[in-house]
Amino acid sequence: MATVKDFRNNVKPNWCPGCGDFSVQAAIQRACASVGLEPEEVAVISGIGCSGRISGYINAYGYHGVHGRSLPIAQGVKMANRELTVIAAGGDGDGFAIGMGHTVHAIRRNMDITYIVMDNQIYGLTKGQTSPRSSVGFKTKSTPDGSVETALSPLEVAISSGATFVAQSFSSNINQMTAIIEAAIRHKGFSFVNIFSPCVTFNKINTYEWFKEHIVDVSEFGDYDNTSRIQAMTKIMETEGMLTGIIYVNDSKPSYESLVPGFKEEALAKQSLEISAEDFNKLVADFR
């Protein structure tokens, strides 16, 4: 059986020392191993951004596509081969700005995919512009007088879009990240995992310390029931989204693949491409 080591490769990430994405990568590797996967059974599909490079740092099949489109590619992969564990990953700009349309619809569609957003509330790769996650007043290269737009609440969006698995974690807490990603992979449906992953180079406000001070964990809520959409929404609103843990799970909704008429358990990629002469003649007869 594969171990964490098998999910590592010898590529040195080009992330800045201290970047939150290092631990996210480690957590994905640990989670894959502890779920019992082999590297070739995993496909990591990533977007463009510092975070998007992650697919190249994990020993598994990896596709680094275009900005904002990791989810459509990931869904295509899943439809082609539902036996694969498909993990989509990228930044908050990738998923909540240019790719927001796909995020909402991928959540609605509910394919069995794990989507990990490395949320640093800024654009890292392009060197420090505002993101849909930036707070009002946040000064960046593109908002020198402070952002005036309302920051997006991805957890609320996810839940209102019909998500069946919503979690949030913090890059400093590798054990929690690993446990959440493990649960996300095991969840039979779309798993949305937002991870606070500080950009140490361009975001001097939302730092590791800042997150430590501001976040609460769902375990601190006492009798929190993460199968209740209403409780989940309430807590997200009460904490202004600054909570961690598995916030909402719905295990009763079947995944997209299992609802498609005629869709088999066996990977579509392994099925025959041919049709019989008899079938062909029938198909042609429709046009006479």
Ligand X SMILES: Cc1ncc(C[n+]2csc(CCOP(=O)(O)OP(=O)(O)O)c2C)c(N)n1
Q: Given the rule CB under 8 A, which residues bind another protein?
A: 9-11, 38-41, 43, 45, 48, 53, 55-56, 59-66, 69, 71-81, 83-84, 101-102, 104-105, 109, 260-264, 266-271, 273-275, 277, 280-281, 283-284, 287-288
Q: Per CB under 6 A, does 50 bind ligand X?
A: yes
Nearest to 88 by CA among 188, 196, 185, 15: 185
User: CA of 73: how far to CAs of 63, 138, 151, 196, in Å?
Assistant: 8, 32, 27, 24
H/E stretch holding 70 reads helix 70-80
Site string for ligand X, 204-243 (x = CB under 6 A): ----------------------------------------
- Among 173, 159, 169, which Cα is nearest to 227's? 159
Considering only CA atoms, give the Rg of the chain. 20
Q: Does 19 interact with ligand X (rule: CB under 6 A)?
A: no
Q: Which of 28, 74, 106, 125 binds ligand X (CB under 6 A)?
A: 125
Q: How far is the CB of 230 from ligand X (least distance, A)?
A: 31
In contact, 234 and 224? CB cutoff 8 Å? no
Identity of the residue, 126 or 135, whose beta carbon is nearer to ligand X in the bound complex = 126
Q: Binding segment for ligand X among 3-11, 48-56, 160-168, 179-187 (CB under 6 A)?
A: 48-56
Residues that bind ligand SF4 (CB under 6 A): 15-16, 19, 21, 50, 120, 124, 199-202
| From the list another protein, ligand X, ligand SF4, none, partner contacted by residue 235 (C-beta under 5 to 8 A by kind) | none
Handedness of CA 252, 256, 262, 265 (dihedral sign): negative
Please, are residues 194 and 107 in contact by the beta-carbon 8 Å criterion?
Answer: no
Q: How far is the CB of 49 from another protein (least distance, A)?
A: 12
Are 91 and 117 a contacting pair, CB within 8 Å?
yes
3-state secondary structure (DSSP) of residue 190: coil
Size of the site for ligand X (CB under 6 A): 18
Rounded-to-integer distance, Cα 150 and Cα 17, Å? 30
Is residue 190 within 8 A of residue 110, CB to CB? The reply is yes
| Smallest distance, ligand SF4 to C-beta of residue 124, A | 3
Please identify, using beta-carbon distances, which residue of 237 and 275 lies nearer to another protein. Answer: 275
Task: Select the binding partner of residue 123 from ligand SF4, ligand X, another protein, none (C-beta < 5 to 8 A, by kind).
Answer: ligand X
